C-alpha cells in the first residue's frame, strides 16, 4: 500500500548562502524515506546549473532558456539521485522514475506506472519521481494538450512537480499528499507571517470553495517560472475530490512533525 506521496521544490533543496546543495535537507528526507512512500523531487535543473558553474566558472550558453533547462537537467539528474542515495537507508532500493505529461494522459502508461509503484512497496524500494525536463519539448507538449482539448478528453500537463505529485497521489490512491516548500504553508497574505492558514476542512464542496477563495491571496513564488501557492491549491483539487488529505509545510521542519501537526503547516481535507 502506498501511504504517502511527498514532494519537495527546487529551492528548498538549495543552500542559497553558499550556492550549493543543502545536504541537511537531503539527510532529513533520506533518513525518513521508506517503502510505501513515493517521493516527487524537483531540483535537477538548479543543481545541474550550480554544478556547471562550479566546473566552468560561468553559466552555460544556448539559444533559448528551454535549451538551458534541458542541458542543466541532464547534468543535474545524476547528482540529484546520487545525493538521495547517499542518505537513504542502504537496506532499501532507490528507483528513479522520469515522467512526462503523456504518461499520465495515456491509460496504458498510467497502468504501467501504477503497477511499478505498487511493486516497489513489496520489493523494499522507494520510487523517486521527477518530470523529465532533459527530453521534454514544450512545443510538442502544447500541441498534444491542444489535441486532447479539441477531442474533449481530460488531460494533465505536469508543467510543475506540484501537479506531478498531485496526479501521482491520485493515481496511487495514497492517504496523504505532502508538499514541502520554503514556507510553513499557505498564507492569506504572504507578507504577513501571522496569516498562515492552518486548516482547510469541511465537506469536499466546502473545501473546494475555500480553496478558490484562498487562491485570490496567493501571489509570488520561490523561483522564476514557478506559480507558488496559487498553483499548489489548484493542483490539489482533484485530490480533495478523491478524499486524499493534503499537507503543505516547510522543509525547514522535521517531516514527521509536519505530518503530525507539531510543526506549522496547512492541513487540507474534505469529507
**Contact indicator for 219, 152 with CB cutoff of 8 Å:** no
The count of domains in the chain is 2
> Quick count: other Cβ atoms within 10 Å of Cβ 241?
14
Where among 133, 149, 174 does a domain terminate?
A: 174
Q: 46 with 113, same domain?
A: yes
The predicted pLDDT at position 222 comes to 45
Taking all residues of the chain, what is their mean pLDDT, rounded to a whole number?
Answer: 91
Q: Do 136 and 270 share a domain, yes or no?
A: no
Q: Give the CATH number for residue 51.
A: 3.40.1160.10
Q: Specify whether 143 is located in the same domain as 219.
A: no
Same domain, 169 and 237: no
E runs forming strands in the chain: 4-8, 14-15, 20-21, 37-41, 93-99, 125-131, 176-181, 186-187, 196-197, 199-202, 245-250, 265-270
CA-based radius of gyration for the chain: 18
* Structural domain span for residue 91: 1-174
Tell me the C-alpha to C-alpha distance, in Å, between residue 104 and each of 22, 48, 122, 147, 211.
31, 26, 23, 15, 24
Domain boundary among 174, 195, 228: 174
Q: Provide the pLDDT for residue 198.
A: 96
HSE (CB half, 13 Å, CA atoms) of 149?
A: 8
Q: Kindly state whether residues 137 and 204 are assigned to the same domain.
A: no
Residues 74 and 119 in one domain: yes
Q: What is the pTM of this model?
A: 0.91
pLDDT in tens, 222-241: 444 444 788 999 999 999 99
In angstroms, how far is the first alpha carbon of the chain from the final one? 21
Q: Over the stretch 82-131, which tens digit does the pLDDT of each residue have? A: 999 999 999 999 999 999 888 899 999 999 999 999 999 999 999 999 98
Of all residues in the chain, the percent with pLDDT exceeding 70 is 96
Q: Return the half-sphere exposure (C-beta side, CA atoms, 13 A cut-off) of residue 145.
A: 14
Amino acid at each position: 500500500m502506498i501511504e504517502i506521496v511527498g514532494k519537495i521544490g527546487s529551492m528548498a533543496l538549495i543552500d542559497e548562502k553558499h550556492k550549493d546543495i543543502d545536504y541537511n535537507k537531503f539527510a532529513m528526507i533520506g533518513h525518513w524515506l521508506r517503502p510505501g512512500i513515493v517521493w516527487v523531487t524537483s531540483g535537477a535543473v538548479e543543481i545541474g546549473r550550480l554544478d556547471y558553474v562550479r566546473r566552468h566558472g560561468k553559466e552555460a550558453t544556448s539559444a533559448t532558456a528551454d535549451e538551458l533547462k534541458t542541458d542543466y537537467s541532464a547534468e543535474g539528474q545524476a547528482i540529484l539521485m546520487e545525493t538521495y542515495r547517499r542518505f537513504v537507508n542502504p537496506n532499501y532500493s532507490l528507483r528513479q522514475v522520469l515522467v512526462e505529461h503523456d504518461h499520465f494522459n495515456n491509460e496504458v502508461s498510467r497502468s504501467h506506472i501504477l503497477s511499478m509503484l505498487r511493486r516497489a512497496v513489496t520489493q523494499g524500494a522507494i520510487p523517486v519521481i521527477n518530470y523529465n525536463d532533459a527530453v521534454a519539448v514544450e512545443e510538442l507538449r502544447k500541441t498534444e494538450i491542444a489535441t486532447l482539448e479539441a477531442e474533449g478528453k481530460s488531460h494533465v500537463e505536469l508543467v510543475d512537480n506540484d501537479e506531478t505529485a498531485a496526479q501521482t497521489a491520485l493515481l496511487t490512491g495514497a492517504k496523504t499528499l505532502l508538499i514541502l516548500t520554503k514556507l510553513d504553508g499557505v498564507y492569506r497574505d504572504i507578507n504577513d507571517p501571522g496569516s498562515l492558514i492552518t486548516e482547510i476542512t469541511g465537506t469536499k464542496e466546502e473545501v473546494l470553495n475555500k480553496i478558490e477563495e484562498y487562491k485570490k491571496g496567493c501571489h509570488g513564488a520561490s523561483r522564476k517560472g514557478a506559480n507558488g501557492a496559487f498553483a499548489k491549491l489548484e493542483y490539489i483539487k482533484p485530490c480533495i475530490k478523491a478524499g486524499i488529505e493534503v499537507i503543505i509545510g516547510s522543509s525547514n521542519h522535521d517531516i514527521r512533525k509536519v505530518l503530525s501537526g507539531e510543526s506549522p503547516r496547512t492541513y487540507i481535507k474534505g469529507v
